[in-house]
Amino acid sequence: MTKLSVNINKVATIRNARGGNTPNVVQVAIDCERFGADGITVHPRPDERHITTEDVYNLREVVKTEFNIEGYPDKRYLNIIEDIRPAQATLVPDPPSVLTSNAGWDTESNLDYLTDLVKHFKTLNVRSSIFVDTNLQNIEYAAKTGVDRVEFYTGPYAEDFTKNRELAIKPYIEAAQLAHSLGLEINAGHDLSLDNLKFFKQSIPFLAEVSIGHALISDALYFGLENTVQRYKYLLK
């Protein structure tokens, strides 16, 4: 069964809009796990516009499932990984100024850099994942780094799903087959939702994990958090 890691960035965004501690990010993480989530994902950006550094350290004390910390590997991010040693570190190539992650790594150009990072994470006993698109060359070079997993950027899939889902999924199937053949485990994330998740899962049966935040937290406004987490879990069976 594919694991569901709930990205709680958007919960922190709502809290930060008013200050204080409502909604309580730590409590939401505890509740997501209680409702069935297999992991918690955060992306602590340098400007702290949602998840803060303090949040990450507070979450370390309560997350009982898999803690996934994603981000651009600057000095601040690396210090966090070294201190907390989460279950997984997901390397994302976005600079601090972007609104949200919107591209994968050029793994060929960054091969030496990514290889060094992966080696470092292995010494910390932290599973590593590299955020990639469906370019087959990027997947081949990701494998050369020694990384444990790749995470597919699924924004294009979500955008094209309503137009032609067979065409939308085709490059992901090809990319997943290559990644699987190279010994890489496969994660996926970005704009996956109750509408498009089931088809994605069915098309890629060896999908290890999905990280879902924006759509899941938005759905929770209508369905409630417990019901929403369980709906996503059901689609991943």
Q: Can you give the pLDDT at residue 98?
A: 58
Q: Can you give the pLDDT at residue 103?
A: 75
Q: Can you give the pLDDT at residue 95?
A: 66
The one-digit pLDDT tens for each residue of the chain (237 residues) are 899 999 999 999 999 999 999 999 999 999 999 999 999 999 999 999 999 999 999 999 999 999 999 999 999 999 999 999 999 999 999 766 655 556 799 999 999 999 999 999 999 999 999 999 999 999 999 999 999 999 999 999 999 999 999 999 999 999 999 999 999 999 999 999 999 999 999 999 899 999 999 999 999 999 999 999 999 999 999
The alpha-carbon radius of gyration of the chain (Å, integer) is 17
> What is the signed CA dihedral for 171, 230, 227, 41, rounded to 10 degrees?
-70
Q: In sequence order, what are the residues at sequence separation of 6 or more whose Cβ sits closer than 8 angstroms to the Cβ of residue 201?
A: 2, 207, 210, 235, 236
Q: Is 50 a catalytic residue?
A: no
Q: Can you give the pLDDT at residue 94?
A: 79
What is the residue range of 79's domain? 3-235
User: Which CATH number characterizes residue 113's domain?
Assistant: 3.20.20.70
Q: Can you give the pLDDT at residue 102?
A: 62
- Structurally, how many domains does the chain consist of? 1
Catalytic choice (43, 50, 151, 209): 43
Q: Is 70 a catalytic residue?
A: yes
Catalytic choice (33, 66, 70, 209): 70
DSSP string, the chain: --EEEEE-HHHHHHHHHH-TTSS-HHHHHHHHHHTT-SEEEE---TT-SSS-HHHHHHHHTT--SEEEEEE--SHHHHHHHHHH--SEEEE----TT-SS------TTTTHHHHHHHHHHHHHTT-EEEEEE-S-HHHHHHHHHTT-SEEEEE-HHHHHHHTT-HHHHHHHHHHHHHHHHHTT-EEEEESS--TTTHHHHHHH-TTEEEEEE-HHHHHHHHHH-HHHHHHHHHHHT-
Q: Is 43 a catalytic residue?
A: yes
Catalytic choice (33, 66, 151, 190): 190
